[in-house]
Chain A
C-alpha cells in the first residue's frame, strides 16, 4: 500500500502524514487551553508546537525537492510479493472484535474465537485431513494452556464474561 507520487511532491505519503500530525498537534494545543495549571500545559504545548514546526519543515522539504526518489520506507512489509489486504483487515478485525466482546463472552471464548479466526486468515496451505485435526487441537491446547497459566498460576483475574456469571 505504499503511496506513489507521480506529481510534484517528493514523498506524498509522508506529506499526508505530516498534515495529519499538524491536525493532531493543533487538537492537542486546543486541549491544553482547558488546563488550569501551567505545570500541566507547558510541556505538551511545547511538544505540540515543535511537532507542527517539524511537520511544516517536512512538507516544505518535500515540496522544494519535488518528485524524485520515493524512498522505500516500508521496512516491515512483504511488499515485494503478492499481499492480501482482506487478510490484514481480517486479522485486525478478529483481534478487535474478540477484545471488545470480552466483557460479555469472557477471555476464554474470545480467545478461542480470535485464535480460530486468525488461523483461518493466516492459512495458505490446503486443509488436509491431518491439518483439520491437528491445527484446531493445537489451537485449543495453546489457548487453554495460556489461560490456565495466567489465571491459575500467575493469578491474573481474566474476565469470565457476563454471559457465564
Chain B
C-alpha cells in the first residue's frame, strides 16, 4: 500500500464523521474547566471498542486534539485554563479579551492550534522512529533541568517584580510537596489532616487560583465582564491569518518545541506551552508587551500544546511508552483492541498506523471550521449572558468540574480556599502564574532531582550526573540564555545606541 492509499482509507465517510464528531466533542469537553483532555478521551474510550482499530484511533486522536484546543476558550474568556495545557494562553488571551479582542484571540488560538497539530502530525508521519529515541535519551536529570528551564519563565511572569515572582514560585513548589512524597512515601505538610493526604490536585488549584479571583471581582461591580465593541466583527479570520503569517517563525518554532516536549513521557502540553511561551517572549521584538495581550503569546502556547498531540503519539506508537497522559489511555484502548505497539507497528500494522496519522491530520484540519464556529458561539454567549447568570454558571462549572477530577469534595473546598488566597495575594502584588508554575513543575523537578541525586551518589559522580550529560548541558545553556537574555539584549541595545551616537 502506498501513502495515497492510506490517505484514501482515512477519508471514508465514517472516518470523516468520526473525526468531526471527535473534534466537536473534545472541544466542548476541553472548554469546561476541570474536564481535561485525558478525561475526555477516557470517557469516550468505551465507544471505540466495537470499531475498527484505525477508526477508533482517529476518533480518540480527534477527541484529544479537540480537547487541547477547547481549553483555550475558558482561558481566553474567563481567565481559567480549561485544560492545564492552556495555562500560558491565559497570560495574553484574557488581557486581549478584556480589551475587546476576545473574538480575535479565539480565532488566533484556533489557527495556531491547527498549525501546531499539523506540524506534530507531520513529525509523527515522517520522523517517528528516529525521534522516539529522544524519549529514551531523557533521564531524571534531564527532566530536572527541563523543569528548571520552565521555572525561568517566572522572570517573564513576575510583572516587574522578580522577588515576588520567586516567592510565589516557592509557595507553589511547597504546595506541590503536600501529601505523600512520591519517592520516599513520607507524609509531608498535612499537619494531621486526612484531606491533604492526596495532595493539591493541579487542575483544581489552577481553577481556584485563576478563576475564583476573577469571579470575586466580577461579583463586586456592576461592570460588564468583557469589553464589547459596538460592531460585530465576525470570525476575524483574515486578521488572525495575517497575524499568523507575520508570526510564522514563532508558530513553527513553537510547534517544533511542542512536538519535542510531547515526545518526552510525562512532560505534556502544559510544559510545552510554557517553554514555547518563554522562547517566544525571549525572541520577540515586542517582549515587553507579553502578558498584556500579545497575540504572539497565544500563537506560541496554542501551537505548542496542539503539537504535543502528534509528538506524544511518537513514543506511544513506536516504543509503547505514552508521551502524555491521554496517550496512556489511548495505549490502553489499543491493547484492548489487540494492537501491539512497538517498532514493528509501522511495518506490520502500517495500514492502521498510517490511516490513523492521516485521520489525525484530517481531524486537525476539521478543527478549523468546527473550532471557529464553536469559538464564535462561546464568545457571543460570554459577552451577552447577563452577569447574574454568568457568574453562578461559571461558579457551578468550577465546582462540578473540580469535583469530577478525583470525585472529591475536599478538592472543591481546596479550590475555593486557594482561590481566596490567590485573590489576596493578587492584591498584595503576587501574580498567580508563578505559583501555578511552581505547583506544576515542582513534582517533576523534585522527582528528577532526587532520582538524579541518588544515581549520582551511588556512582560517586554527582557533578557528572548533573552537569556532564550532553542534553542536560543544552538545557542548562537554554536556561541561562532565557534568564540573562533580557540583560544581554539591553546591553547590546545600549552599546548600539552609543555607537550610533558616536
A contacts, CB < 8 Å to B: 1-3, 11, 13-14, 16-18, 21, 24-25, 28, 31-32, 35-37, 39-44, 47-48, 50-51, 54-55, 57-58, 61, 71, 73-78, 81-85, 87-88, 90-92, 94-96, 98-100, 102-103, 107, 111, 114-116, 118-119, 121-125, 135, 138-139, 142-143, 146-147, 150, 153-159
B212 contact set on A, CB distance < 8 A? 92
A143 contact set on B, CB distance < 8 A? 396
Q: Is the interface of A mostly helix, strand, loop or mixed?
A: helix
Q: Is the CB of A96 within 8 A of B395?
A: no
A50 contact set on B, CB distance < 8 A? 166, 170
B contacts, CB < 8 Å to A: 35, 39, 43, 79, 159-161, 163-164, 166-167, 170-171, 173-174, 177, 181, 183-184, 186, 188-189, 191, 212-223, 386-393, 395-397, 399-400, 403-404, 407, 409, 412-413, 416-417, 419-420, 423, 425-431, 445-446, 449-450, 453-454
A7 and B430 CA atoms in complex are apart in Å by 22
Tell me, rounded to whole Å, the shortest Cβ–Cβ distance linking B407 to chain A: 6
B453 contact set on A, CB distance < 8 A? 42
Q: Is the CB of A122 within 8 A of B388?
A: yes
A39 and B427 CA atoms in complex are apart in Å by 36
Nearest 3 pairs of A and B residues by beta carbon: A73-B429, A40-B186, A51-B170
- From A40, A82, A107, B221 is in contact (CB under 8 Å) with A82
Q: Is the CB of A37 within 8 A of B186?
A: yes
- From A36, A76, A158, B217 is in contact (CB under 8 Å) with A76
B423 contact set on A, CB distance < 8 A? 76
Tell me, rounded to whole Å, the shortest Cβ–Cβ distance linking A113 to chain B: 11
Tell me, rounded to whole Å, the shortest Cβ–Cβ distance linking B197 to chain A: 14
Tell me, rounded to whole Å, the shortest Cβ–Cβ distance linking B11 to chain A: 30
- From B183, B188, B392, A44 is in contact (CB under 8 Å) with B188
Tell me, rounded to whole Å, the shortest Cβ–Cβ distance linking B453 to chain A: 8
Q: Is the CB of A155 within 8 A of B163?
A: no
A139 contact set on B, CB distance < 8 A? 389, 392
Q: Is the CB of B220 within 8 A of A88?
A: yes
A75 and B191 CA atoms in complex are apart in Å by 33
Tell me, rounded to whole Å, the shortest Cβ–Cβ distance linking B220 to chain A: 4
Tell me, rounded to whole Å, the shortest Cβ–Cβ distance linking B190 to chain A: 9
Beyond A77-B426, A91-B395, 5 additional pairs, beta carbon < 8 A = A44-B188, A71-B160, A77-B427, A139-B392, A154-B404
A147 and B39 CA atoms in complex are apart in Å by 17
- From B183, B416, B425, A95 is in contact (CB under 8 Å) with B416
A77 contact set on B, CB distance < 8 A? 217, 220, 426-427
Q: Is the interface of B mostly helix, strand, loop or mixed?
A: helix
B183 contact set on A, CB distance < 8 A? 39-40
B412 contact set on A, CB distance < 8 A? 99, 102
- From B388, B428, B446, A14 is in contact (CB under 8 Å) with B428
Q: Known A16-B428, A21-B171; judge A111-B186 contact (CB<8 A).
A: no
B395 contact set on A, CB distance < 8 A? 91, 94-95, 114-115, 118
Q: Is the CB of A39 within 8 A of B181?
A: yes
A122 contact set on B, CB distance < 8 A? 218-219, 387-388, 390-392
Q: Known A44-B177, A81-B223; judge A11-B429 contact (CB<8 A).
A: yes
A156 contact set on B, CB distance < 8 A? 403-404, 407
Tell me, rounded to whole Å, the shortest Cβ–Cβ distance linking B422 to chain A: 9
A6 and B419 CA atoms in complex are apart in Å by 29
A57 contact set on B, CB distance < 8 A? 163
Q: Is the CB of A42 within 8 A of B213?
A: no
Q: Is the CB of B430 within 8 A of A118?
A: no
A100 and B403 CA atoms in complex are apart in Å by 12
A71 contact set on B, CB distance < 8 A? 160-161, 429
Tell me, rounded to whole Å, the shortest Cβ–Cβ distance linking A69 to chain B: 11
Q: Known A124-B222, A156-B403; judge A88-B216 contact (CB<8 A).
A: yes
A25 and B189 CA atoms in complex are apart in Å by 11
A124 and B110 CA atoms in complex are apart in Å by 35
B167 contact set on A, CB distance < 8 A? 18, 21, 51, 54-55, 58
Can you list 30 pairs linking A and B with CB atoms under 8 Å apart? A21-B167, A24-B171, A25-B170, A39-B454, A40-B186, A41-B186, A47-B174, A48-B170, A51-B170, A54-B170, A55-B167, A57-B163, A58-B167, A73-B161, A73-B430, A74-B426, A78-B218, A78-B223, A88-B219, A92-B416, A119-B388, A122-B388, A122-B391, A123-B388, A125-B386, A142-B396, A146-B396, A146-B397, A146-B400, A156-B403
B222 contact set on A, CB distance < 8 A? 81, 124
- From B388, B407, B426, A76 is in contact (CB under 8 Å) with B426
Tell me, rounded to whole Å, the shortest Cβ–Cβ distance linking B286 to chain A: 19
- From A2, A87, A103, B409 is in contact (CB under 8 Å) with A103
Q: Which residue of A lies closest to B426 (CB)?
A: A76
Among A50, A54, A103, the one with the most B-chain Cβ atoms within 10 Å of its Cβ is A54
A42 and B391 CA atoms in complex are apart in Å by 43
B450 contact set on A, CB distance < 8 A? 39, 42-43
Q: Is the CB of B220 within 8 A of A54?
A: no
Among B35, B79, B395, the one with the most A-chain Cβ atoms within 10 Å of its Cβ is B395
A154 and B454 CA atoms in complex are apart in Å by 42
A153 contact set on B, CB distance < 8 A? 43
Tell me, rounded to whole Å, the shortest Cβ–Cβ distance linking B101 to chain A: 17
A71 and B161 CA atoms in complex are apart in Å by 10
B79 contact set on A, CB distance < 8 A? 76
B396 contact set on A, CB distance < 8 A? 111, 114-115, 142-143, 146
Tell me, rounded to whole Å, the shortest Cβ–Cβ distance linking A61 to chain B: 7
Q: Known A74-B427, A103-B409; judge A58-B164 contact (CB<8 A).
A: yes
- From B43, B215, B428, A155 is in contact (CB under 8 Å) with B43
B163 contact set on A, CB distance < 8 A? 54, 57-58, 61
Among A24, A25, A73, A88, the one with the most B-chain Cβ atoms within 10 Å of its Cβ is A73
A24 and B137 CA atoms in complex are apart in Å by 39
B39 contact set on A, CB distance < 8 A? 154
